[in-house]
Structure formats: structure tokens, C-alpha cells
Amino acid sequence: MNAPWKPGGIAHREPFTAYVCDEITAEALRPIASELGWAVEKIHKGGLRNAIQSLSVSASPQILFVDLAESGDPLNDINALAEVCEPGTVVIAAGQVNDVRLYRDLVASGIQDYLLKPLHPDMLREAFGHAQTILNAPKHVEVSPDRPHCSIAVIGTRGGVGASTIATSVAWLLADKEDRATALLDLDVHFGTGALGLDLEPGRGLTDAIDNPSRIDGLFIERAMVKASEKLSVLSAEAPINTPLITDGSAFYQLQEEMRSAFECTVVDLPRAMLIQHPHLISEVRLAVIVTELTLAAARDTIRILSWMKTNAPQTQLFVLANRVHAGGQLEINRKDFEGSIERKIDYLVPFDQKLAAQAAKLGKPIVEVGKTSKTIAPILTLVTALASVVPDASADGAKAKGKSLMGKFGDLKGLIPKRAAKTK
């Protein structure tokens, strides 16, 4: 359900409220709350369930502490809390489950921190101090609706040509090297690797969007995107493979629309099957990278996709990139013959580097980050420079446009989380 409308900005809310499951936790909180000038009467019993019930009919506080000790499904319950909690609230959770995966999932869902019980005074002081820093931080400037948006589709002509690797690398370079707020949208709903390639949990945002397209708005984007870095956010999925994808594609189109207003660049990892089923997805895309390989089958499908793009997306500027190119003697088709078949030049040729690919996979990083000095990534760097130059930063004084920071439903949390994490099992 949608959270009920409750008037009043965050500055007019209660500074602090807590919902705990036991007296020991309440006793740990009371002296710290008193130190910070907060009313100890705002420490209630009942844990997360009571928090959801109470906040569905009352204003959310600036800082909310919730005890997950009695929750059978903490991640699902936190998402239920987000439905009734107003934007801007900083949420700190506590529980007894000592699992780093749970910690990451909870942080990805938008909370500030997850504290492992029993609670210690210094632990609470640090968490609450950080929450106050977030509340007092200056707000980021919204992306100007008048600035040009760099929308890029990456399409593989065949499975296994490395289109997802290229898409992740392009998104990472736009964010890290071009300093643009960038969204990576991986539309392979069942087998996408957008999050996996960046060592992230994909979350449920993409599948939720498919199930409920009417809920997609700016706030949904803020909640659903998983932040990979200060400038790069990802929307990917690992939907159960026994669940067919049933959609008319409207959710994907709406996601792209919302991302255009929240980011400076959007990179869409667009499976070729999705392109055929939902051709409207390419209607607003300005640039497309066709990723192929030097094989007979890839030549055939490159011809077909280029022809399809010419008919269905004449507004889109195309770049052809041959990926995973082996040494000359191992080629199925040489470059000259391939270009003759597709009747155009290959714009970029990326050499095959198994060692670099394996290292990047082990580290959970893009190959362009791992192989900074490798000749393999030089063509990808050149490609991104070309893509960025097509849609330059728009600012009267030439300064970089600043992207909208992603905020979880609860507030501007990600990227400000303390470096410490929950202990591993």
C-alpha cells in the first residue's frame, strides 16, 4: 500500500523514536537518548511490527530505531516499514542475526545501519551521530530538466559476446572518468549480471517494477536503485527461472523515463530478444552500441540488427564493437570480410584477454577498473569518450552538471554508511 499523506517537513518531526523488543535493549538506549536530548518516553515496546502499525497513522521521526529481533523475515518487514515511513527519515535497525548478506540487503533497501545485539554505548553513539550528520548535510542539487540526457543502449548480437561486460564498463567509465551521475539498467530479468559484475546484491526493485508499473515514480527509483559508487547506480534482477516474464514492456519504458530525470546518463543492457518484443524501448535512446564477435553467426545477426535499427530507430546513432577478438590465426572471419558482410566499418575492436576477465570476475569489478593499463580496455575508453562527446555536459559556464543523489525511501543514506560492516558468520 502507499504511505498515507502526512503534512509537515522533516524539521518539524520528532527527532527520535525507537521500537524495541526487550527491556535490555530499552535500557541500552535510554542513557544515549538522554545524552542527545531526546525524550526517553519515545522508546516503545513492540519492535518492528509496532513501528509499522504506529507509523501508518502518525508522523515519522527524523531518526527511527527499530528492533528486528522478533522478525521472521527482516528484509520483507523493512520493506513494509518503508511503505508507511515518510521520506527523509533515517532508519537504524538492530537484531541478533550475524550475517553479512543480511546486512548488505538491509542497507541496499535504504536503512542507514544494522547493529548487532547486544548493543553497546559507543556503537549507539556512533550510529546516532552518523544519522545526525546525514540529517544536517546540505541537500544535493536536482538534475536540471533542461540538460541533455545521455541515453545509451548496449545490444549483443549473440549470447556470450560480452555485451553485459561492455555495458557495465561503459556505465562505470561514464560515472568514474566522465564524472556523470549514471544509471545502469539491466533488462535481462532472469539472468542479468549487471549487479553481479559489480559485486552487488540486485535487490527486488526491477521485479517489483514489472509487477506494479503504476508504482514507478521518482521515489521508487530512489528506493530501488542499488548504489555501486557515488556516481553509479544499478537496477538489475535475478528473477526465479520458474517465473515467466509477463509484461507489455510499459514498466521498462517508465523506468527509462524516470531515470532520465534522475541521472545524467542511462546505460541500458538490452537483450536482443527484449528489443524484438518491446521495440518502443529504443524510441528515446540516442546512442546504441552493437556488441558482436567475428563469427559467421554474429555477422548474420549484426546485419539483421543493424537493419532493424535503421527501420525502427533511425534517430539512434550506432557504434559497432567487436568484442573478445582472438589473435589473427584463431578468427572464424577476419575483420575485412566481416566488415564487407555488414557493409560498414567496425568502430571498435576489443582484444580477448582471459586473464583480465577472470581477475575482474574474482574481484567483482569491471574490467576497465581492474585493467587500467591493459591494451584490452583502450578501445572501451575511446568508445566512452566518443559517447560522452555526443551529449556534452550542459552548463552555461562549462562546469559539470551535478546529478541528483539517490536517496533511499528513508533518506540520503547510501554512500554515507560507516565503513564498518556486520561481522561475517
DSSP string, 186-219: E--TTT--TTGGGT----SHHHHHHH-GGG-SHH
Retrieve residue 332's grid coordinates. 572464424
Alpha helices in 44-120 (DSSP H): 47-55, 74-84, 100-109
Contact 181, 301 (CB under 8 A): no
CB atoms within 10 A of CB 277: 13
Residue 1 to residue 273: CA distance in whole angstroms? 33
Q: CA nearest 141: which of 181, 104, 111? A: 181
- Cα separation of the two ends of the chain: 35
Residue 262 to residue 145: CA distance in whole angstroms? 9
Residue 256 to residue 252: CA distance in whole angstroms? 6
Give, for all 425 residues of the chain, the pLDDT tens digit. 333 333 334 556 789 999 999 999 999 999 999 999 999 999 999 888 899 989 888 888 999 999 999 888 888 888 888 888 877 789 999 998 888 778 878 887 778 888 989 899 999 998 998 888 777 754 443 445 555 789 999 999 999 999 999 999 999 999 999 999 999 999 999 999 999 999 998 888 888 888 888 888 888 888 788 889 989 999 999 988 988 888 878 888 889 888 988 999 999 999 999 888 888 889 889 999 999 999 999 999 999 999 999 999 999 999 999 999 987 667 899 999 999 999 999 999 999 999 999 999 999 999 999 988 788 899 999 999 999 998 766 443 333 333 333 334 454 333 333 333 333 33
Instruction: Please list the residues that pair with 20 across neighbouring strands.
Output: 45
Q: What are phi and psi of 423, to 5 degrees?
A: -70, 150
